[in-house]
């Protein structure tokens, strides 16, 4: 069965069918100009959980809207944002991840973005964080939120 599937992969009519399915069921992916644009990468890698407006799902998926600065203001939080599994394992280069993260701040936490405190991510910073490997993301999030609270008070 797998061999048959691989045989179909090169079939032009099968490719057209898959393209039509993607266009019909995922039209928002076509709104970005190219796959290297952060808005396209958000739709592809983040929007499924964080929703188009970045609000997430209360109690399940953290909101990005007016919330990213809470994490990014402290070094442990900057790391955490990159270590979130959807970011850490996204099929993007480190430079594309940095560009996406900077786009997220600009589009979902604009006051922080223009407030002069935001230091944009670089590809090298993402490379260094990704190289650290896996973390207990739930424990790290709790630690970051506590540190963020302590930082603000």
| Residues spanned by the domain of 42 | 33-152
pTM exceeds 0.75:
no
Determine the average pLDDT of the residues in 140-146. 84
Radius of gyration, CA atoms only, the chain:
18
Residue 149 has pLDDT above 70, yes or no: no
39 and 3 within one domain: no
CATH number, domain with residue 76: 1.10.760.10
pLDDT tens across 74-122, in order? 889 999 999 998 899 999 999 999 999 999 999 999 998 888 889 999 9
- Number of domain units in the chain: 2
41 and 26 within one domain: no
pLDDT tens across 21-65, in order? 544 555 544 444 455 699 999 999 999 999 999 999 998 888 999
Please say whether the beta carbons of 111 and 73 come within 8 A. Answer: no
77 and 13 within one domain: no
Residue 70 has pLDDT above 50, yes or no: yes
Residue 133: per-residue pLDDT: 83
Task: Give the sign of the dihedral formed by CA 152, CA 74, CA 107, CA 53.
Answer: negative
How big is the chain, counted in residues?
153
């Amino acid at each position: 069965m797998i061999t048959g599937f691989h045989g179909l992969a090169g079939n032009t009519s099968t490719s057209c069918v898959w393209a039509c399915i993607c266009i019909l069921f995922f039209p928002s992916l076509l709104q970005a100009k190219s796959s290297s644009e952060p808005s396209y990468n958000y739709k592809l890698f983040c929007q499924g959980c964080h929703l188009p407006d970045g609000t997430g799902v209360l109690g399940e998926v953290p909101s990005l809207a007016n919330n990213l600065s809470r994490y990014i203001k402290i070094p442990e939080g900057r790391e955490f944002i990159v270590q979130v599994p959807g970011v850490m394992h996204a099929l993007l280069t480190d430079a594309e991840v940095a560009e996406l993260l900077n786009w997220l701040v600009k589009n979902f936490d604009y006051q922080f973005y223009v407030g002069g405190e935001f230091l944009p991510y670089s590809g090298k910073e993402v490379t260094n964080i990704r190289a650290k490997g896996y973390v207990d993301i739930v424990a790290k999030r709790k630690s970051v939120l506590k540190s963020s609270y302590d930082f603000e008070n």
